Each structure stands twice: as structure tokens, then as C-alpha cells.
Structure 1
Amino acid sequence: MSLEDEELLKWLGIKPGKQKAINEVTYYTCLKMLAETMGKLPLKFYKTEGEGRVRADPDAGIGLLMNRPNPVMTPATFWTTIEANCQHYGNGFAWIQTVYIKKGKYGGEYKIKSFWPMQSDCVQVIMDDTGLFGNAGKLYYRYSDPKTGKTYTFSQENVLHFKTWCSFDGIMGKSVQDILRTTVDGLGESQNYLNNLYKQGLTASMVLQYTGDLDPKLRKKLQEEYTELMSGPKNVGKVVPVPIGLTLQPLNIKLTDAQFYELKKYTSLQIAGAFGIKPNQINDYEKSSYANSETQQLAFLVDTMLYRLTQYEQEINYKCLAEKQRIAGYFTKFNEKALLRTDAKTQMDVIKTAVNNGIYTPNEARSLLDYPAKEGGEVLIVNGNYVPLTKVGAAYQKKGSEEEGQQ
């Protein structure tokens, strides 16, 4: 880009140079929504029993993910950081730090000590096609730690790797900012234009007409003088003297004529749609009501977060659980019900219905409300008038037989 082009862009209110996607409010809001949603979902540990599942006591590794992944991060901070890196760069990484534990005379085992997020822009993923490291077809992760300046290489077993849905090789994910760069940049430039318009006191650019020819230095000096007189909020409403032979002609480019608001809103909805974010989540309530917002929240869980949670759970179960644990039916699962919390009345109606129909025990219902368990509350209860499907109508058949016998 030439110097003249840069000057022209500045004059038009467009800041030249590469814009950071995260500086655009819609992009930032979508990133915040996905990262915070991931951070507020608690991780649970279960064991399969028959056709159902029961809560199980986590081992040391899973216990870290549930309570304190590393000495300086809570689980909410840890998962929020991973998801923010994943959405912004297309991939999220976490190093599984292990320690060697001696066990007997002939061998030992490794124990998970902590989990550390890695900045995605500092990670290089290498595929060992030729078996250079002894295992052909495996992935290795080279991490240049920005804090220490050192470079580390980890095998794929020691790294949790999460990616976006968009991956053309199944290994590396693509981010929204990479795929929709022109759209994201365009929305950022529209905000820059609006900011520059505010700085000018919402005064449009003008053309200064004069008769004759001026030296370039005099012309530039004249331009600077009138720019200083007419730009900025402090100069709004000022009377500007114009010498004989000079004419000021405003360039009335109205935002309404350019449909600035409509285009900006449409572009924002496009970016939100690419992230899987619903309109009400970026504060667009134009076509939303209370009931509609609740429906959109459910759609956000099903359409967007369910895939994210499934990918996270599969990666954790494979790399943080031993094979014998997986065979025995142990698994981790995020509690997605945290997204579907309703108002107190609706919540109470749902719990009451579940208890009365033998789905929850009274103590399980009390646990959902953060109340302590009570004696005798571990028994499922149902209405005494209920009968099994196989015995529906049995009472009438018995009554009919008795009447026939009396005759």
C-alpha cells in the first residue's frame, strides 16, 4: 500500500493496517459466550451400571480436572482458557504433566500431576510419517513457551487436543477468523469509521475549492488549517471564516443512505451464526420474547455446545483414563443441565413431577436444590393408583368373572 493510499484511507476514516479480530465487538462477544459457557459446566465422573449410570469416585487425574487442574487455575479458568484458544486459533491444547512413580523391582507407572493450557499460537503440530521418533503415524507437539523462552516436545498421549468442527484433515481445526477474515475485518473497519466520525464531531469531510493554483506546501498548510478549525467535538457549531475565492463544499455521505446500521447488524448476525451463537446472545432482542429466548438457549445447547462437549468428553476419556477403566464402564461427562436452569417456579414443577413419577428420589431432588439428604429419602415413590401396563384392566376382568360366578 502506497503512502497516498494510506492517506486516502485515513481521510475516509479507515485505519490502514491489519485489524485484530478480537477488537471487534461481535467477534469478542461470541468468543466470550463460548469460552464462558465451557467454563461454567462442571465435569462429572460416572460408571455404567446396567442400562444406566451412577456417580463414581474419580481417580487422581480426573480429580484434578474436576477440582484444580494446576496450582494456579480453577477448573472454570482452565476450560475457559482452552476454549478461548480453540475458538480464536482453531485449536486448543493442554499439556498433561505426569510424574514417574516407582513400583516394585521391575517397572513403574506414571501419575498425572497437573494440566496446563498451552497458547495455541505457540504450538506446532508435527506428524511423524517416517517413524523418526520411533512411532510412525503419531503426532508430536512442539511448544515454544513464551514465559521461559524454552521449546518443549510432547507426544500425543501427553497433550489434550481440541479443535473446532471445521477440519479438513481431522488433525487441525480452522477458526472463524481464518475462514471469514474479510467479513470480520469489514465489520472492524465499519467500527473504525464510526469511531473516526465521533472524533470529528460527526462532521462530514469537505472539499475546499479555490481559484487558481497553489504551491503544494501552501495547499497542505491551508488543508491543515481548515482541518484544525472544523474537526473535533470542541469545534462543533463554530463559525468558520472563508476568504473570497474559497468555497467549502461538504461531502454529505449519510449513514442512513448507506444503510450503515442495517449492513452492520446483518454482518454481526453472520459472524454470530458462524460461531453458532443465537441472536439474543449478542443482545439482538428484536424478534425475541422471554419464551423465545429460552428456546434459543436450548437450541444453543443442542446445535452448538453439544458437539463441543462431546469432543471434549471423548478426548478426556481416551487420554486421561486407563484402558481398563474404559472397559469397566468409567467415563467423564460435563453437566449440560447447568445451561438449562429456569425460574424457581418452573424448576420446582419439573422436580415435583419427576419425584411423583418415580424418576428422582426425594433426596436426589433435594440435592438439585442444594438441600441435605433426609432419612428415608432414597426410595422411589409413585402414585398408589398406578398399575403396570401389563395389568391395565385386570381389575375389571376380575370383577366380570366374579359376577359370572354369582349367576
Structure 2
Amino acid sequence: MGIFDFFKKRRLRNLAAALNDSRLLEWLGIDPKNTPAIQEATYYTCIKLLSETMGKLPWKYYQDTASGRIRADPTEMTALLTTRPNPYMTPSTFWQTMEMLCQEYGNAFAWVQSDITKTGEVQKPYRWHWRGLWIMHPQDITIWYDNAGIFGKKNQIHYQYTNPQTGETFLFDSSEVLHFKTWYSRDGGLTGEPVKVILSDTIRSLSLSQQVITNNYEHGMTASMVMYYTDELDDDRINKLQEKFANRLITPQNAGKVVPVPRGLKLEKLNNSFVDSQFYELKKYSALQIAAAFGISPTFLNDYEKASYSNSESQNISFLVNTMLPRVKMYEEEINYKCLLPKEQEAGYFYTMNTNALLRTDAKTQEEIVTGYVNNGIYTPNEGRRMLQLPDKEGGDILMCNGNYIPITQVGKQYGKEGDNGED
């Protein structure tokens, strides 16, 4: 049986952390003093934006029919996706958490708890088809590739979940697990890789630069100094002298105060200017690199240096089209494959995310959009009212349009006389 040991190193990391053995961490190539990437502000902001955006998008249930797409009657799965995935989470919390895990670990998993056989029949005595969606932490998942057919058919994917509290393990078929991943994969698309692995050096450099700024604040923004002394001192006296003047010079309480210097002792400041070392320029460049890797515009990081009102609006549209739509499409494909019964798939039912929720505009623009749809016969008045969250009205289900419009094949005929062939 072939095994994808994608999470093996993470399991060893957890074991080493539990044992508090720094030597084992170093042997694994893990820095025990390395801070989590999520503590870097740019990295955190990007994951926060992607996760919250995914949580904003509501799920819709439709059916493709001969007369076009129509809203379908809700099912048990529709209630899980739109009302309550499980007793402990709202849909917003669930999808935000799934996207956060996906971006942080490269993969996100959710167990689809159901009472349905592969033929779509309910196994008695259960009452409901679908019972819940349960998030499983990526660090507790091991992916198995059954090339020997031990668990059924050959060349099938299975997911092994280990309960971190009890140590109990469960083996799920691939049809029982929703698996969302990032676009970058090193194993043929089976699993994804997070941005923090690909840009580990860039993220670490930003974390270190933040530590430099923090240390300067802790030391009262006072630069390092060299002490000149004309006499010779042993090591003990040197250490005492350093400690004495360090407490007076670099603590925030003494910043900017006058420090008396004994005769024979001279202090000289070491020039270490952030401006001279292009510190802020390099820090900003690294932050933009991380944002670009996530597909996020600098505007979303509060960098308005090259932004205006018009291109900020276009950047919002670009964020939806280039960053979120690939993610949304991946979510929709996984849901429609694993959360619909075979008979529902054959009947043309499908789930989709309403991306229009990201393009909500001001009241005036919204009025112009709805009015244009209704006046041009695209929406009925009641459909337009629903866009504005208003109740239907009697007679509002009839399409209307301007009476002056004519078919394109008859353009010009209105200017000729009846029976005239149009010649002079």
C-alpha cells in the first residue's frame, strides 16, 4: 500500500513540541525559536481577507431545466450549507475556518456525516439523509493511497483521522471527506502547499525586521554606543560598567534623559539609521511580495500610494475575478461532486456561491442596475424587488420593456409607407 506522508513531519513536530526536546527539533530541521508565520502582520492580513471573503459568500441551490436555471427547493444538505453545518458553527464561521486552514496548511478537510449509501438510499433506522459537516484539523489527517485494493477498489484515496484527545483513529472513503486545497501541489494535485512554505524566507525576513523595530522600542529608540576608557579593566569591572550604563541609556524610562559620564570615560553613538540601510523600503517590498503571492492588491493592505478611487474599484473587481473566483470554483466543484445524490446530479441540481455579494454598491448605483434589468425585460419587477430585499407585489411577474423597441430585422421599416418597397 502506497502512503502519502504529507503530514509526517508535522506529526513529528507536534511530538517534539510535546516533549520539549530542542535537539529533536533541530534534527528535524525546525528552529525551536521560530515564531509562527501567522504573527507576521502582512501574512495575517492576507489570510484574514481571504477567509472573511469566503465567509461572506452565501450558497444557492439551483436546477438546470429545459426553460433555464431555476431556484430549487431546499434539501437537508442545503440547510447544512446555508443554515447550520453542525450544532456548533454558523455557515460564516465554518467557511471562514475552512479557508483559513486551507491557506495556513495548504489543505482543509471536513467530514460529511450522512446516512446515505452510495446508491442514494437511506439506511434505516436513520431519519435524515445528511447529518452534519465536521471540520477535521489538517495536522490530524493522513492520506492513504490504496493501490492494492485492501479497502475495496484499487487505486482509491482514503483519509485517516486521528482524534487528538483520545488517539482513536477513523478511516474515511474519499466520498465522505470534503477536501479543499491551494493551487500549488507537489504530488500531482492530491494535496496543496501553503504560501508560508513557498515564501518561508520572505516571511521570516519580515518577522525578523519586526523584531528589530520591537527591540528598538524596548530600548527607548536609543542607538548602541561604544565606551572609551583610558585605563585597563578586568572582565568583572567591564561587565559591571556595561550593565550600569545600559540600564541608564537603553531603557524606555531613561530615553532622552541626561546621563552623567565619569572623568576618563567617553561615549560615542554607533550610527545605525533605518533610512541609510533602506530598512523600510526592503520591509515594504517583502510585504508586497507576500500579498502578491496571495493574489491581493496593496490597496487591501492600506497601501494607497498608487491608488485612486477609480482603480480601487477596479482592484475590487480584479480581486474577485483573479483571486476569489478560482477558489470559489474549486469549492463549488467539490461540493457538487460529494454533496449531491446521484439522482440529484442527473436531474441537473447544483450548488453555487453567490459572488454578487462581493459587488454590492451604493444605493444610487444599485437603483440604476436594478432599473436597467427591469426596463430592458431581463428581470421582472418582482425579481428586481427581491434584489432589494422587498416583498413581491401583485402583477409584478410580467416582463416589461420599452415599446419603441423593434426586432433588428425590421429596423427602418417604420419609416416607409405601407406597400412601399422603399425606392424613391
The answer to whether residue 174 in structure 2 is matched with residue 181 in structure 1 is no
Question: Which deviates more from structure 2 when the two are superposed, residues 285-294 or residues 79-88?
Answer: 285-294
Q: Which amino acid aligns with 2:92?
A: A
Contact 2:102–2:180 (CA under 8 A) maintained in structure 1? yes
Contact 2:225–2:270 (CA under 8 A) maintained in structure 1? yes
Q: How does 1:125-140 map to 2 (within 5 A)?
A: 125-140=143-158
Q: Which amino acid aligns with 1:265?
A: K
C-alpha displacement of 1:57: 1.2
Count of residue pairs brought into register by the alignment? 391
Contact 1:93–1:161 (CA under 8 A) maintained in structure 2? yes
* Gapped regions of structure 1 (runs ≥ 5): 1-14
User: Which secondary structure state, in structure 1, belongs to the residue aligned with residue 418 of structure 2?
Assistant: helix
Q: Give 1:326's aligned residue.
A: 345
Q: Percent of aligned positions with the same letter in both sequences? A: 51
The answer to whether residue 392 in structure 2 is matched with residue 373 in structure 1 is yes
Match of residue 193, structure 1, among 181, 202, 212: 212
Q: Give 1:364's aligned residue.
A: 383
Distance, in Å, in 2 between the alignment partners of 1:286 and 1:29 is 18
Deviations 1:336-390 (A, max 9, x none): 0001111111111111111111111111111111110001111110001111122
Shift of the 148–346 alpha-carbon distance from structure 1 to 2, 3 Å rule, reads farther
Q: Give 1:304's aligned residue.
A: 323
Match of residue 26, structure 1, among 24, 37, 42: 42
Contact 2:116–2:123 (CA under 8 A) maintained in structure 1? no
The answer to whether residue 184 in structure 2 is matched with residue 144 in structure 1 is no
Q: How does 1:61-100 map to 2 (within 5 A)?
A: 61-99=77-115
Contact 2:116–2:122 (CA under 8 A) maintained in structure 1? no
Q: Which amino acid aligns with 1:57?
A: D
Distance, in Å, in 2 between the alignment partners of 1:352 and 1:358 is 10
C-alpha displacement of 1:49: 2.0
Q: Give 1:60's aligned residue.
A: 76
User: Which secondary structure state, in structure 2, belongs to the residue aligned with residue 379 of structure 1?
Assistant: coil
Contact 1:140–1:154 (CA under 8 A) maintained in structure 2? yes
Distance, in Å, in 1 between the alignment partners of 2:124 and 2:43 is 55
Q: TM-score, normalised by structure 1?
A: 0.90
Question: Which deviates more from structure 2 when the two are superposed, residues 361-370 or residues 219-228?
Answer: 219-228
User: Which secondary structure state, in structure 2, belongs to the residue aligned with residue 287 of structure 1?
Assistant: coil
Shift of the 287–204 alpha-carbon distance from structure 1 to 2, 3 Å rule, reads same
Q: TM-score, normalised by structure 2?
A: 0.86
State the Cα RMSD in Å. 2.5
The answer to whether residue 303 in structure 2 is matched with residue 284 in structure 1 is yes
Deviations 1:257-286 (A, max 9, x none): 112221111111110110011111111111
C-alpha displacement of 1:103: 7.1
User: Which secondary structure state, in structure 2, belongs to the residue aligned with residue 166 of structure 1?
Assistant: coil
Distance, in Å, in 1 between the alignment partners of 2:121 and 2:373 is 49
The answer to whether residue 364 in structure 2 is matched with residue 345 in structure 1 is yes
C-alpha displacement of 1:400: 5.6
Q: Which amino acid aligns with 1:292?
A: N
Match of residue 239, structure 2, among 220, 238, 253: 220
Deviations 1:140-165 (A, max 9, x none): 22223334443322221111000011
Contact 1:128–1:136 (CA under 8 A) maintained in structure 2? yes
C-alpha displacement of 1:39: 0.3
Distance, in Å, in 1 between the alignment partners of 2:302 and 2:135 is 31
* Gapped regions of structure 2 (runs ≥ 5): 1-30
User: Which secondary structure state, in structure 1, belongs to the residue aligned with residue 351 of structure 2?
Assistant: strand
Shift of the 377–329 alpha-carbon distance from structure 1 to 2, 3 Å rule, reads same
